[in-house]
């Protein structure tokens, strides 16, 4: 699904993965008002965390079949917007991308996280306590460890670690999540989770958080808006009608196009093992359940994620949904347009997948947040779907260079 960028207009022989994501991060940082100094220091952090793959020429295929993004770029950006605050820029990355196998990928991920902990003086204790559960000697896919950074002003990020509940095999995922929650002191948390089709990720907040969370991500195949409204397990959570409305707008149920419907026969993709051949599109909706108090049986946070790229014809449509949602919550819709233009020079209508997910997050004591996930598209852009709603097949991906308006990033 990838193609070389070389040969495209303005392709530079020096363009590297590190150069590409650095340029995106600097432009994004500027678009959310981070200082130039903070942006530069975060760009260094990103390149350092990627290690050797940052120097990899973009004309080579991706370092491996990373599950982090559709074109296997081991980096994804997101913009989280909540009332009364500047939008917060985050970056998700796979530090072990390009390692020879998942076991080594996980070891590299742990080393990079521990180096961050030393540098910014936080503890990795919760992660260390779970190491045997998530890092078995012969791990299964689709990931070993991802790390996310919330790029605060000032240059010290908040850090999150994402682990794979299916590391000991998909059949063990639920048990692994239950054990992990219990070890962290959340004894009744597992029992509070709603029904799901798969346990996708287990995440930990590390570093400077007022209320660090342990989070469980669940996949829900062929979910309806009404069903989504029933999945929150928070004590004083959002009204089901609010979740339903978010779902309908994000999935395009209100649009005239017949392409939007999540119930329209989509195959749930979930988390395929690495190397299993072509990926199925139409990914499932996910929910995230966040636990903060060990004394409480119920989560204090709930997020719903709609993989908008599988339910929109092109990113122009996805961006309209994002701005509609931001408007509903009294948030500045222009922030997401600026961010998408900062990440990609192509026209949104010329591809689908720049906007990967739209998320609605509720956390006790805070106003709801809308998050837009923006793909780096270092290796490929998925072409827009045909305007004919009956056309279900998607053409193969084309090289990013073929669709980008400007020259690729220089290193
Ligand atoms: N690429 C994976 C997916 O599409 C994992 C992922 C990346 C993800 N960013 C995400 C999942 C944001 C949920 C929300 O599922």
User: Which pLDDT does position 400 carry in this prediction?
Assistant: 57
Q: How far is the CA of 69 from the centre of ligand 1 (A)?
A: 7
Pairwise CA distance, residues 151 & 154, whole Å: 9
**Which pLDDT value is given to residue 386?**
80
Q: Which of 357, 361, 372, 382 to mutate to test the pocket of ligand 1 (most atoms within 8 A of CB)?
A: 357
The CB-side HSE value for 396 (13 A sphere, CA atoms) comes to: 6
226: tokens are: 């009404």
Count how many domains the chain has: 1
Tell me how far the alpha carbon of residue 179 lies from the centroid of ligand 1, in angstroms.
24
C-alpha–C-alpha distance, residues 262 and 335, integer Å: 27
| Residue 46 included in any domain | yes
Residue 370 resides in a domain: yes
- pLDDT value at position 275? 43
User: Ligand 1 atom 4: the closest Cα is on which residue?
Assistant: 69
In a domain, 1, yes or no: no
Looking at ligand 1, which atom is closest to the CA of residue 67?
Answer: 1
- What pLDDT shows up at residue 38? 97
Q: Is residue 188 part of a domain?
A: yes
> pLDDT exceeding 90 applies to what percent of the chain?
82
The pLDDT value given to residue 208: 87
pTM here?
Answer: 0.89
Ligand 1 contacts (CB < 6 A) are 67-69, 76, 92, 283, 286, 305, 307, 356-357, 373
Ligand 1 centre to CA of 201 (Å) is: 10
Residue nearest to atom 9 of ligand 1 (CA): 68
**Full domain range(s) for residue 393:** 17-404
Closest ligand 1 atom number to CA of residue 70: 1
| Closest Cα to atom 7 of ligand 1 | 68
Answer yes or no: is 297 within a domain. Answer: yes
Asked if omega into 222 is within 30° of 0 (cis), the reply is no
* Residue found by looking up tokens 């837009």 in the block: 372
Determine contact, residues 398/408, Cβ cutoff 8 Å. no
β-bridge partners, 287: 218, 304
- Positions in the chain short of pLDDT 50: 1-11, 256-281, 391-395, 404-411
Tell me the backbone φ, ψ of residue 37, rounded to 5 degrees.
-65, -45
- Give per-residue pLDDT as tens, 292-326: 999 999 999 999 999 999 999 999 999 999 999 99
Cβ atoms 34, 59 nearer than 8 A: no
């Amino acid at each position: 699904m990838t193609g070389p960028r070389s040969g495209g207009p303005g392709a530079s022989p020096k363009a590297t993965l590190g150069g590409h994501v650095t340029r995106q991060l600097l432009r994004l940082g500027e678009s959310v008002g981070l200082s130039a100094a903070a942006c530069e220091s975060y760009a260094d952090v990103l390149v350092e965390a990627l290690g050797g793959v940052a120097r990899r020429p973009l004309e080579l295929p991706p370092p491996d079949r990373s599950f982090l993004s559709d074109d296997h770029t081991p980096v994804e950006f997101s913009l989280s917007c909540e009332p009364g605050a500047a939008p917060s820029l985050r970056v998700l990355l796979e530090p072990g991308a390009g390692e020879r196998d998942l076991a080594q990928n996980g070891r590299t991920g742990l080393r990079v996280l521990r180096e961050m902990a030393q540098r910014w003086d936080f503890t990795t204790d919760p992660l260390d306590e779970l190491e045997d559960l998530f890092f078995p000697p012969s791990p299964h896919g689709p990931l070993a460890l991802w790390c996310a950074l919330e790029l605060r002003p000032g240059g010290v990020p908040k850090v999150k670690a994402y682990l794979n509940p299916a590391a000991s095999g998909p059949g063990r995922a639920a048990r692994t999540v239950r054990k992990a929650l219990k070890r962290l002191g959340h004894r009744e948390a597992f029992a509070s989770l709603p029904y799901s089709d798969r346990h996708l990720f287990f995440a930990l907040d590390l570093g400077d958080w007022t209320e660090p969370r342990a989070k469980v991500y669940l996949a829900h195949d062929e979910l309806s808006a009404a069903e989504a409204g029933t999945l929150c397990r928070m004590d004083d959570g959002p009204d089901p009608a609010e979740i339903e409305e978010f779902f309908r707008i994000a999935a395009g149920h209100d649009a005239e196009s017949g392409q939007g419907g999540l119930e329209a026969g989509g195959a749930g993709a979930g988390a395929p093992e690495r190397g299993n051949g072509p990926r199925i599109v139409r990914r499932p909706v996910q929910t995230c359940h966040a636990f903060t108090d060990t004394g409480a049986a119920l989560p204090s946070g709930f997020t719903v994620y709609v993989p908008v790229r599988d339910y929109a014809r092109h990113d122009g449509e996805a961006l309209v949904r994002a701005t509609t949602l931001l408007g509903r919550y009294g948030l500045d819709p222009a922030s997401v347009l600026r961010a998408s233009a900062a990440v990609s020079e192509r026209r949104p209508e010329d591809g689908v997948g720049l906007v990967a997910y739209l998320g609605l997050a509720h956390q006790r004591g805070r106003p709801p947040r809308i998050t837009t996930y923006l793909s780096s598209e270092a290796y490929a852009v998925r072409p827009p779907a045909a305007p004919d709603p009956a056309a279900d097949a998607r053409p193969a991906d084309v090289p990013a260079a073929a669709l980008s308006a400007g020259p690729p990033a220089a290193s």
